[in-house]
Every structure is written in C-alpha cells, then in structure tokens.
C-alpha cells in the first residue's frame, strides 16, 4: 500500500512538473520531475518489503513498472535542463537512466583567477567559459542487486538527449557516440541527428568560445545543430 501511495504522489508531482513546463518555468519543472523520481525511488524501496504479489502482478513486474516511470521522469527532467541551458546537468540525468558512468568533469583551474594579477581592473571582459569534457569510467560492482531493465525505446531517448547535451558542451565525439547508440536502437529522430553530425561535424575543425554562456564551445555548426534541441 505504501508503494502505491508513493507512486500516486509521484504522479501528482509529475503533473505539476508538466504544468511548470507548459508555462515555460523550466527550472521548477526540472525540480518537480526530479522530486517525482525520488518518490519513485522510495516506492521501489517500499516494494522490496512487500509481498510477492501486488495488485495481481509479481514483485518483479511492479519493479519494472516503477523503473520505467522513474526513467521517464528523469528524461523529462533532462529535457527541461537542456532547454534551460544546463547541458551538464542534463548529461547527469541521462546517465542516471543509462547507468553507464558518463560524467562531466570541470577543467577550470581556480588559480586562473589570479593570472592577471590586477584585482582593480574593472573593465568589462567576457567571463572565461568553463572548459569541460565527458569521460567514461568502467566500474565493476559485486553483490549489487540487479536493477530492472529499462526498455530500449527509453534508453534510445536518453542517448539522443545526452548526445545533444554533449554537443552543447563541445564534446562532438561523445555526441556522435550517443547519437549512434540512439540511432541503432531505432530512434528515428536520432538517425537524422546522427546523419547531420556525420555530414557536417567533420567540416567544423575549429571551435571558438561560446557566447551562449553555457560553459561550452560553439561555432555556426554547433549553434545550428542545437537550434531545435527540444
């Protein structure tokens, strides 16, 4: 019963998130989708202490249903973050769905702040954009509980969304990797996106600091590719 109550609360939170999204309040929408996912985590934990049959379904079936609901919430959160100019956070949300240890690492050095040695310089200068890269770490865990499988359709959407976030961060190779994965899983939009990356990405050899304020790299190719990132 507690698991069902938590799922109901998550559904209400998800509806609130959609309302925020539709009104253009992307920040609160992302927060609400994340809160819905947390409630579903709690529902999964409560389910683990329940009987083997719940509402006519086996515990494994219910775990699978909750896992799909949770992944969907995190994907909606990822979309809101991407639209809100937070590609790094979008990567993290998608990685949580894919569970493949892709991480955003800041390469900024705090000592750079003092490179000029002139604290009194009040001239307006563009703030240095953070330089980031995406790394993949292979980890092996033993004795961990087996997680319910996420359907390929949802995983494809996570790869596609993360590809756009990685492109926004200037990680063209990573964007190609994720777009290719999504395309191979049958995401038609990802097929088109991957094709454009393959055709046009090689023509973009030099990158310049992005004016988007996203800690990214940009050029006309990148800006064009990200123009329809919804």
- Residue 123 three-state SS: coil
Least confident of 16-20, 23-27, 46-50, 159-163: 46-50
Tens digits of residue pLDDT in 117-172: 444 444 444 333 233 455 555 444 444 567 788 999 999 999 999 999 999 998 88
CB crowding 151-162: b at 16 or more within 10 Å, else e? eeebbbbbbbbb
End-to-end C-alpha distance for the chain, whole angstroms = 37
pLDDT, tens digit (0-9, with 9 covering 90-100), for 185-198 = 999 999 999 998 98
Q: Is the distance from CB of 229 to CB of 83 less than 8 angstroms?
A: yes
Residue 31 vs residue 227, higher pLDDT: 31
Q: How many CA atoms lie within 13 A of 89 on its CB side?
A: 17
Instruction: Express each pLDDT in 109-126 by its tens digit.
Output: 444 444 444 444 444 443
pLDDT at 213: 38
Rounded Cα distance between 168 and 172, Å, is 9
What is the distance of C-alpha 121 from the center of its chain? 38
pLDDT band at 230 (very low <50, low <70, confident <90, very high): very low
pLDDT of residue 221: 47
Q: Comparing C-alpha atoms, which of 179, 193, 191 is closest to residue 224?
A: 193
- 204 confidence band (pLDDT: 50, 70, 90): low
pLDDT-derived band at 180 (thresholds 50, 70, 90) equals very high
DSSP conformation class of 150: P
Which tens digits make up the pLDDT trace of 33-85?
A: 999 999 999 999 988 887 666 666 788 888 999 999 999 999 999 999 999 99
The residues pairing with 135 across neighbouring beta strands, listed in sequence order, are: 103
pLDDT at 209 over 70: no
Contacts of 199 (CB under 8 A, 6+ apart): none
Three-state DSSP at 220 gives helix
Outline where the chain has alpha helix (H). Answer: 2-22, 26-48, 59-83, 87-98, 152-168, 172-184, 188-201, 220-226
Structure confidence at residue 96 (pLDDT): 95
The predicted structure's pLDDT at residue 126: 36
What is the Cα–Cα distance from 43 to 144, expressed in whole angstroms?
Answer: 19
Secondary element (H or E) of residue 120: none
N residues, the chain: 230
Strand, helix or coil for residue 113: helix
Range of lowest pLDDT (51-65, 171-185, 203-217): 203-217
With b meaning 16 or more CB within 10 Å and e meaning fewer, what string describes 12-42?
Answer: ebbebbeebbeeebbeebbbbbbbbbebbeb
């Amino acid at each position: 019963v507690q698991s069902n109550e938590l799922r109901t609360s998550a559904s209400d939170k998800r509806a609130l998130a959609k309302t925020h999204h539709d009104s253009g309040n992307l920040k609160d929408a992302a927060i609400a989708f994340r809160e819905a996912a947390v409630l579903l985590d709690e529902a999964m934990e409560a389910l683990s202490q329940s009987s083997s049959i719940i509402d006519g379904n086996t515990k494994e079936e219910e775990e699978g249903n909750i896992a799909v609901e949770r992944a969907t919430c995190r994907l909606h959160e990822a979309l809101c973050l991407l639209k809100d100019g937070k590609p790094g956070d979008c990567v993290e949300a998608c990685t949580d769905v894919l569970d493949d240890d892709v991480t955003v690492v800041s390469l900024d050095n705090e000592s750079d702040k003092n490179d000029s040695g002139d604290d009194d310089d009040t001239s307006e200068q563009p703030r240095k954009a953070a330089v980031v890269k995406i790394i993949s770490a292979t980890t092996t865990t033993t004795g961990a509980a087996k997680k319910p499988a996420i359907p390929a359709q949802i995983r494809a959407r996570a790869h596609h969304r993360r590809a756009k976030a990685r492109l926004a961060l200037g990680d063209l190779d990573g964007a190609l990797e994720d777009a290719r994965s999504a395309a191979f899983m049958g995401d038609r939009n990802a097929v088109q996106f991957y094709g454009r990356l393959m055709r046009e990405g090689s023509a973009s050899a030099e990158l310049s600091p992005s004016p988007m304020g996203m800690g990214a790299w940009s050029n006309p190719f990148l800006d064009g590719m990200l123009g329809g990132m919804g």
